[in-house]
């Protein structure tokens, strides 16, 4: 029995009937009557919802579900509310067909076992009622709400005594039965269904095969050569379409054999059915079948991700997963998941038989990442939607975020963010000019303004670092490596953002914050009452390029850590105490005026322009940004990606990367106070 197919077996009554004339035997199958079935490999009864059943492009009948024992193919199928009926032809020239047909003639009672690939399975709980196929059922059981029928097998044992199969030992002779053997082979090679071809079409193809021109009754008829070309193109299109569908969801190592087989089918003139059967017999595994194993039921990407995050003590894990996902994670891993368990589970989901090993070897690791080709140790046995690379990436990005957030992110609070789509230099145009409204005259004519522009540039670059979960981590079964590596990559991304940002921002005295730009405060620049007053006056006196007031309000007070406490006191105290020998209490007019931002980078000697006393008064970056961060696709936070290590190397590689750029923009949006004088 195919391990990737849900096989519904049932006893079948076979009646050998005499046909009208010589020809291939035909069969009729009442394949399924809508009831609950106890199936091998399933821990609960299964009901297939006929309303949700679809059909594969070609349906095959074989013996004992062995693809090498072909019996024939299905030509018609009918679904009613409660019944699935199939009809077909015992068309295969095999010993298996002879066994089935002759045994039926001698009175042997065959049974039918229908092959279906469940696409969606719903579990019905204990005592829950459900109506399927017009029948009432009570849980626990499974309902195949969406399935794809792929064929059926003639078997000797089953369970549904309402199922019936009849085989006619002979069939009516058609015009195609009189076709010359060589002509018939040629027709089959170009994809023609010889058994069901119309007489008119057959005559056309006969003429084309013989190299003659068939004259049509119509003066504008189409010659047989065009018909043959059309059929040949249809044959190739059908093979191509089937090959593309067969490639969906496959690992890279599985696609190349399919490509070579399709090319062979094209070159050698195989029919569509022959190509489909060759794939079926080649051992290239199906990607559409359900692979069930009770212990892996409901083990989805999200459930495994939740288990890893709980074991790694991710902050606020309850906010990132539903109660159902967390409960399922606990049910699968009540003692917490380990690194080896995670990799082995991923290998098992990809069909790897680890023989219950608790240790990861190179074969298991490569199987977990979908990099191991099928062999004697690869067995499809676990139904799951879990993908090891996807789970690893999703989990790693959550821990990367924690590492990112643990670093000072002041740059994000004082910058505007530019969304760029590539790594080219991008230009910002700041329009200005004669924009002040003028009085409209009695004629109603509105005067024209004249615009000028200022431009600013920025571009994103890529910054990255690679780390690894090493062989030692895996041997030591250290799940902490899975959480620590992305945390470090997240921290590394935040550190690089700060490094790039403060390198640009602090080295600003050359042409940005200068007396010529009227955006520096030096007389009473120390942070205090006088310093704030002077900086605000300078800020408010800024003018636009047309020498008109800028009319933008300062919103941010940016200070180094040495004077952060002073800044907070100035912004949060309701009263201010002055005087030397005589104490006077005054209302603090600066209370709540500005948002305080501070960073240790401002006074770090690694950066040109560092200072423990210089501070800045800045506009809201959304209104007039002094500094801008360019981010590819708008994302500043880094990404982390994971992959299997190099071939035959035990370990998992992770790389974090960030695509950003930083540039100073509007000098009118800020004032730099050098902090040299008393405030």
Task: Express each pLDDT in 300-318 by its tens digit.
Answer: 888 989 999 998 889 888 9
Instruction: State the Cα torsion 603-609-611-613 to the nearest 10°.
Output: -130
Closest residue by Cα to residue 308 from 317, 296, 316: 317
Task: For residue 22, tell me if it sits in a domain.
Answer: yes
pLDDT of residue 616: 96
Spatial distance between the Cα atoms of 590 and 535, rounded to a whole number of angstroms: 13
Q: Could you give the percent of the chain with pLDDT greater than 70? A: 72
Residue 478, by phi and psi: left (phi above 0), alpha (psi -120 to 50) or beta? Answer: beta
Band of pLDDT at residue 20, cut at 50, 70 and 90: very low
* 495/595 same-domain check: yes
- Spatial CB neighbours of 10, under 8 Å, sequence gap ≥ 6: 32, 37, 111, 112, 113, 158, 159, 160, 161, 162, 163
If one compares 10 and 191, the residue with the highest pLDDT of the two is 191
pLDDT of residue 269: 81
Band of pLDDT at residue 32, cut at 50, 70 and 90: confident
Query: DSSP alpha helices (H): ranges in 19-143?
Result: 95-105
**Region 130-150: what's the mean pLDDT?**
87
If one compares 435 and 411, the residue with the highest pLDDT of the two is 411
pLDDT of residue 371: 64
If one compares 340 and 560, the residue with the highest pLDDT of the two is 560
- Spatial CB neighbours of 363, under 8 Å, sequence gap ≥ 6: 352, 372, 377
Band of pLDDT at residue 566, cut at 50, 70 and 90: very high
Band of pLDDT at residue 644, cut at 50, 70 and 90: low
pLDDT of residue 620: 94
Range of the domain at 36: 6-173
DSSP 8-class letter at 173? -
Neighbours of 590 (CB within 10 A): 20
Domain closes at, from 173, 193, 208:
173
pLDDT of residue 7: 55
Task: For residue 193, tell me if it sits in a domain.
Answer: no
Pairing of the two strands 451-458 and 66-79? unpaired
Q: Where are the beta strands (DSSP E) in 95-252?
A: 111-124, 129-132, 135-138, 141-155, 164-168
Report residue 3 as tokens. 């391990």
Choose from 2-11, 13-22, 495-504, 587-596 the range with maximum mean pLDDT.
495-504
Closest residue by Cα to residue 171 from 95, 110, 106, 89: 89
Band of pLDDT at residue 645, cut at 50, 70 and 90: low
Band of pLDDT at residue 11, cut at 50, 70 and 90: very low
Spatial distance between the Cα atoms of 154 and 157, rounded to a whole number of angstroms: 9
Domain closes at, from 173, 206, 237:
173
Our count of domains for the chain comes to 3
Give yes or no for residue 213 having a pLDDT over 60. no
* 378/417 same-domain check: no
Domain closes at, from 106, 139, 173:
173
Task: For residue 416, tell me if it sits in a domain.
Answer: yes
Strand, coil or helix: what is 128? coil
Spatial distance between the Cα atoms of 492 and 509, rounded to a whole number of angstroms: 28
pLDDT of residue 569: 92
Give yes or no for residue 144 having a pLDDT over 80. yes
What CATH number is associated with residue 109? 3.20.16
User: What are the tens digits of pLDDT across the range 374-391?
Assistant: 433 333 333 345 677 788
**Region 206-215: what's the mean pLDDT?**
51
Closest residue by Cα to residue 415 from 633, 631, 200: 631
**Region 310-333: what's the mean pLDDT?**
89
User: What are the tens digits of pLDDT across the range 223-248?
Assistant: 445 667 777 878 888 888 778 777 76
Strand partners for 378: 352
Strand, coil or helix: what is 110? coil
Give yes or no for residue 636 having a pLDDT over 80. yes
Which of 56-65, 160-169, 545-554, 651-660 shows the lowest per-residue confidence on average (mean pLDDT)? 160-169
* 484/411 same-domain check: yes
* 380/519 same-domain check: no
Band of pLDDT at residue 373, cut at 50, 70 and 90: very low
* 427/528 same-domain check: yes
* 322/465 same-domain check: no
- Three-state secondary structure readout of 632-647: ECCCCCCEEEEEECCC
Give yes or no for residue 173 having a pLDDT over 50. no
Task: For residue 496, tell me if it sits in a domain.
Answer: yes
pLDDT of residue 10: 45
* 324/410 same-domain check: no
> pLDDT averaged over the chain?
77
Task: For residue 287, tell me if it sits in a domain.
Answer: no
* 483/608 same-domain check: yes
Choose from 80-84, 332-336, 364-368, 665-669 the range with maximum mean pLDDT.
665-669
Cis status of the peptide bond prior to 140, with omega within 30 of 0: yes
Band of pLDDT at residue 219, cut at 50, 70 and 90: very low
Strand, coil or helix: what is 80? coil
Task: For residue 78, tell me if it sits in a domain.
Answer: yes
Cβ atoms 379, 353 nearer than 8 A = yes
pLDDT of residue 454: 66
Q: Which helix (H) or strand (E) holds 532?
A: helix 529-540
**Region 633-648: what's the mean pLDDT?**
76
Spatial distance between the Cα atoms of 383 and 298, rounded to a whole number of angstroms: 8
Strand partners for 457: 427
Q: Which DSSP string corresponds to 387-411?
A: -HHHHHHHHHHHHHHHHHHTS--HH
* 358/475 same-domain check: no
Which of 281-285, 442-446, 660-664 shows the lowest per-residue confidence on average (mean pLDDT)? 281-285
Task: For residue 281, tell me if it sits in a domain.
Answer: no
Spatial distance between the Cα atoms of 489 and 403, rounded to a whole number of angstroms: 7
What CATH number is associated with residue 511? 3.30.2400.10
DSSP 8-class letter at 511? T
* 622/498 same-domain check: yes
Task: For residue 46, tell me if it sits in a domain.
Answer: yes
What radius of gyration do the chain's Cα atoms show?
38
Band of pLDDT at residue 584, cut at 50, 70 and 90: low
User: What are the tens digits of pLDDT across the range 493-511?
Assistant: 999 999 999 999 999 877 8
pTM of the model: 0.53
Cβ atoms 258, 284 nearer than 8 A = yes
* 674/605 same-domain check: yes
Burial 487-506, CB ≥16 within 10 A → b, else e: bbbbbbbbbbbbebbbebbb
* 300/422 same-domain check: no
Burial 195-220, CB ≥16 within 10 A → b, else e: eebeeeebebbbbbbeeeebeeeeee
Cβ atoms 272, 242 nearer than 8 A = yes
**Region 274-285: what's the mean pLDDT?**
63
User: What are the tens digits of pLDDT across the range 397-431?
Assistant: 888 889 999 999 999 999 999 998 888 888 876 64
Strand partners for 130: 137
pLDDT of residue 76: 85
Give yes or no for residue 125 having a pLDDT over 70. yes
């Amino acid at each position: 029995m195919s391990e990737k197919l849900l096989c519904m077996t049932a006893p079948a009554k076979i009646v050998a009937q005499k046909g009208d004339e010589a020809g291939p035997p035909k069969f009729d199958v009442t394949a399924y009557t809508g009831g609950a079935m106890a199936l091998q490999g399933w821990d609960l009864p299964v009901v297939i919802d006929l309303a949700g059943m679809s059909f594969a492009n070609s349906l095959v009948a074989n013996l004992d579900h062995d693809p090498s024992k072909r019996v024939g193919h299905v030509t018609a199928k009918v679904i009613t509310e409660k019944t699935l009926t199939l009809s077909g032809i015992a068309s295969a020239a095999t010993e298996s067909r002879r066994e089935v047909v002759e045994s039926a003639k001698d009175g042997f009672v065959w049974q039918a076992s229908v092959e279906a690939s469940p696409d969606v399975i719903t579990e019905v709980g204990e005592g829950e009622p459900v109506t399927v196929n017009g029948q009432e059922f009570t849980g626990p059981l499974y309902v195949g709400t969406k399935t794809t029928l792929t064929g059926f097998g003639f078997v000797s044992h089953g369970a549904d005594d309402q199922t019936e199969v009849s085989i006619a030992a002979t069939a009516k002779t058609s015009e195609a039965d009189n076709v010359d053997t060589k002509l018939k082979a040629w027709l089959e090679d170009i994809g023609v269904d010889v058994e069901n071809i119309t007489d008119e079409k057959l005559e056309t193809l006969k003429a084309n095969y013989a190299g003659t021109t068939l004259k049509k009754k119509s003066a504008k008829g189409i010659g047989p050569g065009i018909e043959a070309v059309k059929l040949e193109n249809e044959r190739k299109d059908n093979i191509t379409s089937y090959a593309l569908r067969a490639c969906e969801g496959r690992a890279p190592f599985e696609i190349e054999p399919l490509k070579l087989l399709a090319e062979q089918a094209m070159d050698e003139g195989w029919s569509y059915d022959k190509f489909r059967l060759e794939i079926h017999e080649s051992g290239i595994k199906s990607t559409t079948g359900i692979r069930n194993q009770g212990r892996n039921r409901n083990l989805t990407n999200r459930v495994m991700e939740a288990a890893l995050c709980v074991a790694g003590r991710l902050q606020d894990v309850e906010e990132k997963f539903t109660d159902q996902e967390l409960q399922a994670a606990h049910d699968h891993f009540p003692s917490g998941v380990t690194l080896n368990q995670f990799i082995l589970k991923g290998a098992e989901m990809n069909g790897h038989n680890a023989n219950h090993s608790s240790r990861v070897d190179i074969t298991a690791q490569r199987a977990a990442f979908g990099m191991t080709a099928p062999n004697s140790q690869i067995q499809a046995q676990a139904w799951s939607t879990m993908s090891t690379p996807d789970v690893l990436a999703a989990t790693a990005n959550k821990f990367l975020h924690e590492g990112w957030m643990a670093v000072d992110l002041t740059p994000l609070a004082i910058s505007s963010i530019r969304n760029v789509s590539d790594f080219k230099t991008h230009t910002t145009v700041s329009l200005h000019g004669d924009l002040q409204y003028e009085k409209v005259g009695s004629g109603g004519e509105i005067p024209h303004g004249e615009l000028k522009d200022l431009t600013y540039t920025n571009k994103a670059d890529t910054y990255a670092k690679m780390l690894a979960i090493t062989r030692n981590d895996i041997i030591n079964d250290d799940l902490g490596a899975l959480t620590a590596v992305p945390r470090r990559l997240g921290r590394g991304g935040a550190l690089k953002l700060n490094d790039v940002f403060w390198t640009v921002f602090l080295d600003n005295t050359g042409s940005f914050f200068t007396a010529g730009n009227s955006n520096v405060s030096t007389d009473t620049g120390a942070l205090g009452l006088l310093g704030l007053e002077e900086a605000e006056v300078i800020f408010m006196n800024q003018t636009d390029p047309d020498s008109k007031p800028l009319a933008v309000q300062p919103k941010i007070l940016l200070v180094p850590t040495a004077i952060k406490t002073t800044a907070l006191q100035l912004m949060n105290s309701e009263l201010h105490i002055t005087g030397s020998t005589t104490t006077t209490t005054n209302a603090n007019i600066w209370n709540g005026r500005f948002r305080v931002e501070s960073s240790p980078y401002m006074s770090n000697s690694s950066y040109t322009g560092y200072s423990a006393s210089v501070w800045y008064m800045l506009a809201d970056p959304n209104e007039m940004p002094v500094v801008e961060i360019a981010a590819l696709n708008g994302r500043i936070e880094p990404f982390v990606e994971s992959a299997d290590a190099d071939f035959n190397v035990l370990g998992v590689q992770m790389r974090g990367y960030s695509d950003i750029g930083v540039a100073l923009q509007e000098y009118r949006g800020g004032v730099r106070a050098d902090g040299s004088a008393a405030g």
